[in-house]
Homo-oligomer: A and B are copies of this chain.
């Protein structure tokens, strides 16, 4: 591990230990101070962002970045206002740390308590979107986790400016540990992060499939996130025509590059208005394709693959085979089919008569979102603050020993308090 990175990682670990006793008051004070300082210094951030935009314009001309990446890079007054409001919103959420999950008497005077605690050090790898840095910082502060951030190189000036302001705000908050929020910049630093399993407890990549796959293949550290968003809508035989049309158009066109946009439409071959439905979708500007090569593609565009299936069972099988475990919806008037679909489809979100676009932490009412996970462990679906904590067991006794129970001289009571 290179010396510079090792230093950052070690200090982050120490910060995370010191953060374990952080009070909710200090954390909220930190969030509000950051909001204030960002407001006061926003012109500095806009100037840094302009520099990034200028460099990105060159890259755009050379075709080295896409138009959509260029667009995401821009930080305007609206985004800044949202960033600042986000900090305030997170300060108003309940403290996720030190929540009692259960308290149990193992025996008279021997009390076991399961309490939430921070995970430790998070490694966050994200592409060019400068608003991510304040959102992740706020979530980390509120959940008492230290972070090491690695943003896209296209937004390097903006990121440096924002984190600089955040850290100078934190310096002014009494009792807030040093080195909680750290930033690294190079591609080599990503490799260092992946090897730092002694210091980093969880990696959260926010980026495309190849980034996520690369990370999963090259680290012992748990990874939280999703590689693909291949979401499905199944139009059952008994679907209401207008409802199907409305939900599909929403799921495909309202924001086609979102990971929760629908990619594949499955239609019951007994649905009588199928042809009419497809025509209406084309009228809404959706390009339809029917090609087995599309079953595992995420277009992130107004392109929709479609396929006829003979039953809800075949729809379920198709989704479990080709889906990415993100979010799927059935449009049907048949309650049994709806329940069967929701039970048997193995995805984070299983919907009945609703757009897949609802898969989102804010829409679910979590107040903030770390990202969306297609993991089958730890956290699944939109991940709120709950995904940034784990728990520990505290046991309080008065000299209790196991041998008494092994010998049968004492007996566990196992009484929940």
Contacts and interface: CB of A to CB of B under 8 A. Distances in A.
Interface in A238-265: 240, 242-243, 246-247, 249-251, 254-255
A70 interface: no
Contacts of A216: 197, 220
Interface string A1-35: 00000000000000011001100000000000000
Given A222-B375, A254-B403, A401-B250, A346 B17 contact: yes
Interface of A: 16-17, 20-21, 104, 106, 110, 112, 119-120, 197, 201-202, 216-217, 220, 222, 224, 240, 242-243, 246-247, 249-251, 254-255, 320, 338, 340, 342-344, 346-355, 357-359, 363-365, 375-378, 380-382, 390-403, 405-406, 412, 414
Nearest to A222: B377
A1 to B, nearest CB: 16
Contacts of A397: 351-354
Contacts of A249: 401
Contact of A20 (B254, B344, B401): B344
A403 B355 CA distance: 10
A366 to B, nearest CB: 9
Given A352-B397, A375-B390, 15 more contacts: A106-B365, A222-B377, A224-B377, A242-B399, A251-B401, A255-B402, A347-B392, A348-B392, A349-B395, A352-B396, A354-B395, A354-B400, A357-B401, A380-B390, A381-B393
A101 to B, nearest CB: 10
28 contacts: A17-B346, A20-B343, A20-B344, A21-B343, A21-B344, A119-B376, A119-B377, A120-B346, A120-B376, A197-B216, A222-B375, A254-B401, A254-B403, A349-B395, A350-B392, A350-B394, A351-B394, A352-B395, A354-B397, A354-B400, A357-B402, A358-B395, A363-B402, A363-B412, A365-B412, A376-B390, A377-B377, A378-B378
B246 A399 contact: yes
Contacts of A390: 375-377, 380
B365 A400 contact: no
A390 B378 CA distance: 7
Nearest to A260: B402
A400 B119 contact: no
B343 A112 contact: no
A50 to B, nearest CB: 29
A408 B400 CA distance: 60
A390 B374 CA distance: 11
A254 B254 CA distance: 64
A391 to B, nearest CB: 6
Contacts of A401: 246-247, 249-251, 254, 355, 357
Given A17-B344, A254-B401, A403-B250, A354 B110 contact: yes
B358 A400 contact: yes
Nearest to A343: B21
A397 B92 CA distance: 29
A314 B122 CA distance: 25
Given A21-B343, A377-B378, A399 B353 contact: yes
A398 B242 CA distance: 11
A13 to B, nearest CB: 8
Contact of A217 (B119, B220, B222, B392): B220
Given A106-B358, A399-B247, A17 B394 contact: no
Which of A222, A354, A377 has its CB near the most chain B CB atoms (within 10 A)?
Answer: A377
Contacts of A412: 363, 365
Contacts of A396: 338, 351-354
A285 to B, nearest CB: 14
Contacts of A201: 376-377
